[in-house]
Amino acid sequence: MRAPDRTFQRARHLRRGMSLPEIVLWQALRKLRLGGLRFRRQHPIGPYILDFYCPSARLAIEVDGLAHDTVAEAHRDARR
């Protein structure tokens, strides 16, 4: 599913401003290359942006941090 242009722009912005937990995980994923798998960071899928995505394994990884700590965000995350 092709994401809207606005989502691609937001993903580019998020790649430039990753949180510390995202940076640490990204460095580990790039360094380890788990089983030869390659990951993309801040990957748009439809209206959503995944923190990390491995297309060959169809695996998405979401890193929860301070941005997900509010009650409103918890409800939004559950809906997604």
Confidence (pTM): 0.74
CB 77 within 8 A of CB 68: yes
Non-local (6+) Cβ contacts of 21 within 8 A are 63, 65
Tens of pLDDT, residue by residue over 40-54, are 999 998 888 899 999
DSSP code at position 16: H
**CA 23 – CA 45 distance, rounded (Å):** 21
pLDDT at 69: 64
In sign, the C-alpha dihedral spanning 22, 25, 28, 29 is negative
* Domain layout of the chain by residue ranges: 5-79
Structure tokens at 30: 């790039």
Estimate to the nearest angstrom the gap between the alpha carbon of 44 and the chain centroid. Answer: 8
pLDDT at 41: 92
As a whole number, mean pLDDT of residues 50-71 equals 84
Non-local (6+) Cβ contacts of 14 within 8 A are 42, 49
